[in-house]
Amino acid sequence: MQSGVGQVRTGLPWEALTTELTGGTCKDTSSTNRLDLLGIETESGIEYEWHKLVTAPPPCCSALIPLYWGRVIGCVTSARAGEITVRVAVTLFDNNAQPLDTYSDFLAIEAEEKEQFDVRIKDLPLGAKAYGITIKIVDLEEVPYIP
C-alpha cells in the first residue's frame, strides 16, 4: 500500500498510522482509560496462563468508529482429561468494587490443551475503574446461541 495522505501504512503502531491524515492531531487515548485489575478467579481444572487489556485505537486513528472499547485477550490451559467448555467473563467495577457490566467469551478446550480467549468490551461504563476475570467450566447448554 502506498503511503501518503488518505493512506494507512502497514506495519506501524497505532500511534503512527494517521499523523498525516489528521495533521498530527491524533492522540493516543489508551493511557487515559487505565483500569486496575481486581483479581483473576479460576476453577479447578483450568490453568490461567496470561492476559492483556488492549484498548481500541481512538476513532481518528482507526479511520472508523471502533466496534468496541477494548478487548481482554489471554490464554488458559485445561488440566482435565476430557474436553471442556469454558466461560471467560470480564466484569467492570466502579470505585467501590460494585459490578457495572460483564462481557464474556466461550471456549471449547481439548484435554490438556491451551486455548486463547478474546473478550470484547463493547462500551466502557461511566465510572469504571477496575476489572476482574472469572474463568469457569460451563455446560454446553449455557453457551448462548447466536445465529
Q: Which domains does the chain have, with CATH numbers?
A: 35-138 (2.60.40.3230)
Nearest CA to 86 among 72, 103, 106, 104? 106
33 secondary structure, DSSP code: G
pLDDT of residue 134: 97
Contact predicate 133/49, CB 8 Å: no
Mean pLDDT by groups of 10 residues along the chain of 147 residues: 37 38 47 80 94 81 71 95 94 96 95 95 92 94 75
